[in-house]
């Protein structure tokens, strides 16, 4: 008890809840986009956005229409109010003591996220982190934003409810390989196909950490763990392949230890309108240490890591000696030694291609056992209408069509009779 109250005091000193925009000042956006305001008039829903943002939205929508699509796309987070002043990483650290094992890859990810958040420039009260259960799911406690540590596997469902009812929020889901792909597999695939405005960070350490070391749905076949003394029998999921198969509009992979790359991927995910899935290879130094060492060791990484960059030829290895080409016979992708003769055949990465076929093929390049030829970066990033925007649009359309709901008229309905007392 003492310990906690000390921490609270410390926090009070550092985060200063009374600093900045006090609640009394109301911070326009909060008032206008609050739920109460919404009940009062669905049509006024987007009013919380500043005029600038509204304009940006309109422009974007017009652009989409001009491009020939009836599809209406809003830029991600345009409805989320901006921060009043400058932010720093410190603003996003909560007062809670971080309790992951020393050396856990989660620390690096937390630092990267806290460091990246100020870049978004969003009002931090409009940012929410929702997690499930597992080591990684303690994440929200360490972010000085709104947060919910929910139940095993269900974070995407809970976050869907929050994001689809509050377009003024930036909602992030933090989950692990067991949480997202085992107990919560159903919610993950449905969030992806709906394209809710969620950013899902999937910490993949290929093991169950919090329950002390059972194999996970991403563990390699034959994995010897406490629950599989003779080796696991089930083929693992490839999260990127799964997400692409589930109609995801944004799928990326990065590594906990590469802060620069991790931050770039987070930036791309944040910019994406709709559900973004970011698989983060994360080291569990207690139960699965070194699982991704081949991707981190400078020497080995040359052979193992393929960095995907939109619009650039897919080359890797020392001096880009290797490249990815399409096999004309099968249409599949394979790795070749790049020569003057075949250089023109090297695939140019197109994350925005309409068809997911090539992105899927890229996701199959890595050897699941050795992790050789593991692509990292953004596999796929395409525009598709965002679920919560469509939902809000239907509310607006209903008001346009039938006027704002009138309770007395609803209750009265059609066939009535009157009894005179």
Helices (H), 16-74: 28-33, 35-40, 51-66
Does 245 bind other proteins (CB under 8 A)? Our answer is no
125 scored as a contact of other proteins (CB under 8 A): yes
| Residue choice 57, 87, 114, 150 for contact with other proteins (CB under 8 A) | 150
> Can you tell me which of 88, 121, 165, 367 binds other proteins, judged by CB under 8 A?
165
Of 113, 160, 207, 267, the one binding other proteins (CB under 8 A) is: 160
| Per-residue binder mask for other proteins (CB under 8 A), 36-65, x = binder | x-xxxxx-----------------------
Residue in 30, 76, 238, 358 binding other proteins, rule: CB under 8 A: 30
Residue 71 contacts other proteins per CB under 8 A: no
4: closest CA among 70, 96, 72?
96
Closest CA to 14 of 82, 85, 96, 127: 96
Residue 14 binds to other proteins (criterion: CB under 8 A): no
Stretch that binds other proteins, among 34-42, 234-242, 253-261, 375-383 (CB under 8 A): 34-42
Stretch that binds other proteins, among 12-20, 53-61, 227-235, 309-317 (CB under 8 A): 12-20
Nearer to other proteins, 258 or 388 (CB): 388
- The answer to whether 86 contacts other proteins (rule: CB under 8 A) is no
* Phi–psi pair at 232, nearest 5 degrees: -75, 150
Choosing from 34, 115, 245, 353, the residue that interacts with other proteins (CB under 8 A) is 34
CB 183 within 8 A of CB 152: yes
Q: Find the Cα–Cα–Cα–Cα dihedral 49, 52, 56, 61, rounded to 10°.
A: 60
Q: What is the number of other CB atoms lying within 10 angstroms of the CB of residue 229?
A: 7
Q: How far apart are CA 273 and CA 63, in angstroms?
A: 15
Q: What is the DSSP letter of 201?
A: E
- In the block, tokens 């931050």 appear at 263
Nearer to other proteins, 136 or 288 (CB): 136
List the beta bridge partners of residue 130: 148, 173
Interaction of residue 96 with other proteins, rule CB under 8 A: yes
Helix (H) or strand (E) holding 173: strand 170-176
Region of 60-68, 71-79, 225-233, 390-398 interacting with other proteins (CB under 8 A): 390-398
Give the separation between CA 1 and CA 409, rounded to whole angstroms: 55
| Start-end of H helices in 121-197 | 155-165, 177-178, 185-194
Which residues 6+ apart lie within 8 Å of 250 measured at CB? 268, 269, 272, 274, 275, 276, 277, 378, 380, 381, 382
Considering the rule CB under 8 A, would residue 7 count as an interface residue with other proteins?
yes
Our finding on whether 420 is near other proteins (CB under 8 A) is: yes
Spatial CA neighbour of 333 closest among 313, 360, 311 = 360
- Interface with other proteins (CB under 8 A), residue total 90
Query: Is residue 164 part of the contact set for other proteins (CB under 8 A)?
Result: yes
Stretch that binds other proteins, among 52-60, 256-264, 363-371, 403-411 (CB under 8 A): 403-411
d(CA 360, CA 251): 10
- Residue range at the interface with other proteins (CB under 8 A); choices 126-134, 226-234, 338-346, 360-368: 126-134
Smallest distance, other proteins to C-beta of residue 117, A: 12
Q: Rounded CA gap, 207 and 283, in Å?
A: 10
- Length of the chain (residues): 421
Q: Is 121 in the site for other proteins (CB under 8 A)?
A: no
> Binding other proteins by CB under 8 A: which of 72, 82, 149, 259?
149
Among 105, 134, 147, 176, binds other proteins (CB under 8 A): 147
With binding defined as CB under 8 A, does residue 151 bind other proteins? yes
Q: Which of 123, 291, 371, 382 binds other proteins (CB under 8 A)?
A: 123
- The 3-state DSSP class for residue 204 equals strand
What interhelical angle do 387-402 and 155-165 show, nearest 10? 40
Which one of the spans 58-66, 140-148, 314-322, 373-381 is the region binding other proteins (CB under 8 A)?
A: 140-148
Applying CB under 8 A, which part among 20-28, 174-182, 241-249, 360-368 lies near other proteins? Answer: 20-28
Q: Does 243 bind other proteins (CB under 8 A)?
A: no
| Residues of this chain, 350-389, that bind other proteins according to CB under 8 A | none
Q: How far is the CB of 243 from other proteins (least distance, A)?
A: 16
Q: Which of residues 177-236 bind other proteins (CB under 8 A)?
A: 186-187, 190
For the chain, the straight-line distance linking the first and the last C-alpha, in angstroms and rounded, comes to 65
- Choices 6-14, 64-72, 107-115, 333-341; region in contact with other proteins by CB under 8 A: 6-14
Cβ-contact 326, 345 below 8 angstroms: yes
What's the rounded Cα separation, in Å, for the pair 107 and 129?
16
């Amino acid at each position: 008890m003492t310990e906690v109250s000390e921490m609270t005091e410390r926090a009070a000193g550092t985060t200063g809840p009374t600093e900045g925009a006090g609640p009394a000042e109301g911070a326009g956006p909060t008032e206008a986009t609050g739920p109460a305001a919404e009940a009062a008039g669905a049509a006024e829903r987007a009013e919380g956005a500043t005029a600038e943002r509204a304009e940006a939205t309109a422009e974007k929508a017009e652009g989409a229409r001009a491009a020939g699509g009836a599809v209406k796309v809003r830029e991600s987070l345009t409805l989320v109010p901006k921060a009043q002043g400058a932010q720093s990483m410190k603003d996003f650290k909560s007062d809670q003591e971080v309790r992951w094992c020393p050396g856990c890859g989660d620390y690096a990810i937390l630092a990267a996220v806290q460091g990246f958040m100020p870049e978004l420039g969003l009002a931090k009260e409009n940012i929410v982190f929702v997690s499930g259960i597992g080591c990684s799911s303690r994440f929200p406690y360490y972010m000085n934003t709104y947060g919910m540590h929910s139940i095993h596997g269900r974070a995407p469902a809970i976050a869907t409810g929050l994001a689809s009812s509050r377009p003024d929020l930036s909602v992030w889901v933090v989950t692990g390989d067991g949480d997202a792909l085992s107990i919560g597999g159903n919610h993950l695939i449905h969030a992806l196909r709906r394209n809710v405005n969620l950013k899902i960070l999937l910490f993949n350490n290929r093991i169950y950490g919090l329950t002390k070391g059972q194999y996970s749905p991403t563990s390699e076949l034959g994995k010897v763990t406490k629950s599989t003394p003779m080796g696991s029998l089930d083929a693992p999921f490839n999260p990127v392949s799964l997400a692409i198969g589930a109609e995801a509009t944004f799928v990326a992979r990065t590594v906990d230890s590469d802060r620069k790359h991790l931050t770039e991927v987070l930036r791309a995910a944040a910019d994406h309108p709709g559900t973004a899935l970011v698989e983060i290879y994360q080291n569990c130094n207690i139960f699965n240490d070194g699982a991704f060492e081949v991707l981190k060791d400078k020497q080995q990484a040359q052979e193992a890591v393929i960095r995907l960059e939109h619009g650039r030829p897919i080359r890797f290895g020392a001096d880009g000696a290797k490249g990815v080409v399409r096999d004309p016979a099968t249409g599949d992708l394979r790795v070749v030694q790049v020569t003057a003769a075949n250089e023109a055949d090297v695939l140019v990465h197109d994350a925005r291609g309409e068809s997911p076929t090539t992105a899927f093929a890229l996701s199959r390049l890595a050897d699941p056992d050795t992790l050789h030829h593991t692509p990292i970066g953004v596999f796929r990033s395409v525009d598709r209408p965002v679920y919560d925007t469509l939902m809000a649009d239907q509310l607006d359309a209903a008001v346009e069509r039938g006027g704002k709901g009138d309770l007395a008229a609803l209750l009265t309905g059609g066939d009535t009779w009157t009894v005179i007392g």
